[in-house]
Amino acid sequence: MGRRKRGQRIHGILVVDKPQDFSSNAVLQRCRRALDAQKAGHTGALDPLATGVLPICFGDATKYSQYLLDADKAYLADVCFGETRSTGDAEGEVLTKCDASGLTQENVEQALDRFRGPIAQIPPMYSALKKDGKPLYKLARQGIEIDRAARQITIYSLVLQDFKPGEQPVARIAVRCSKGTYIRTLGEDIGAVLGVGAFLSGLRRTHAGPFDLSQALTLDQVESVGASVIDQLLPIDAGLSHLPRCIVNDHEAEKLLLGQAVNVLNTSNDGIVRIARVSQEFIGLGTVSEGHVLSPLRMIATDE
């Protein structure tokens, strides 16, 4: 007989405003303990330097966390010019220095034009990407650098919100981007285009998919309230609001939960849909074919 998992079986999403100098996993574990939850996972790590929106999934919501990992994100980033750092942010060692005192707001505005829309970006060595099963950041700490293939990303919006001139000018930029975008690399690339180098001195995530800072609780709030935070959890499918919903009756629902396809005439959508009972209870994801056949993709009751 297997050992019973400790904690409560709770399901839903909690949006946390991650504090600086905490790893995303540390925040996750503290929230899990505060709620006494059996199972939890986050939806895309933020560096310890960064703050902001960190959605944490509990219970059945973890089964759909990949859709949040793939979601667009938005950030406020402080880019400091005149230095490059080993990690691309303020935590790294200084690699180069350059006189950036002549940099102007107009210079930065012109540089930003080159980074809007689809661009190729080379992931940094200080990242969680893996080579032969080993995270790149561990190789970087050993002084090992390997070739990384450029990736296609999209910068949907890039706005200069503030510029402070000086010996080390700092630009605050608002970025809305696709999944897989490294803001540290974006800052470094902007500095390279301007010929003065740059590193990220601050980063705050303001949006992750459908979630934003207005929904976020601080870690202190979560821990001070404890298990009663359960009442504030968002629904399991809160991160899937971009997908159309398909309503099924109880008979159709039971067939889908058994892994069987059903014919549905009440949807004009093809592709992935959220499936809900007439009572609005979310029961999983499915795919609709052109012939109005709804097939189960990832159902709550059948996946363990």
Contact 40, 230 (CB under 8 A): no
Q: What are the residues facing 248 on neighbouring strands? A: 277
CA distance 148 to 131: 10
Q: Which two tokens stand for residue 82?
A: 């005149």
Indicate which residue of 17, 36, 47, 189 is catalytic. 47
CA distance 253 to 278: 10
Q: Which two tokens stand for residue 5?
A: 């998992």
Q: Length of the chain, please?
A: 304
Q: What are the residues facing 246 on neighbouring strands? A: 275
Contact 127, 45 (CB under 8 A): no
47 is catalytic: yes
Contact 120, 152 (CB under 8 A): yes
Largest CA distance in the chain: 71
DSSP E strand stretches across the chain: 12-18, 40-42, 51-58, 73-81, 83-85, 94-97, 117-121, 130-131, 134-135, 151-164, 170-177, 198-208, 211-212, 217-218, 245-248, 262-263, 271-277, 282-288, 293-299
Contact 300, 284 (CB under 8 A): yes
Would you please indicate which residues are annotated as catalytic (active-site) residues?
Answer: 47
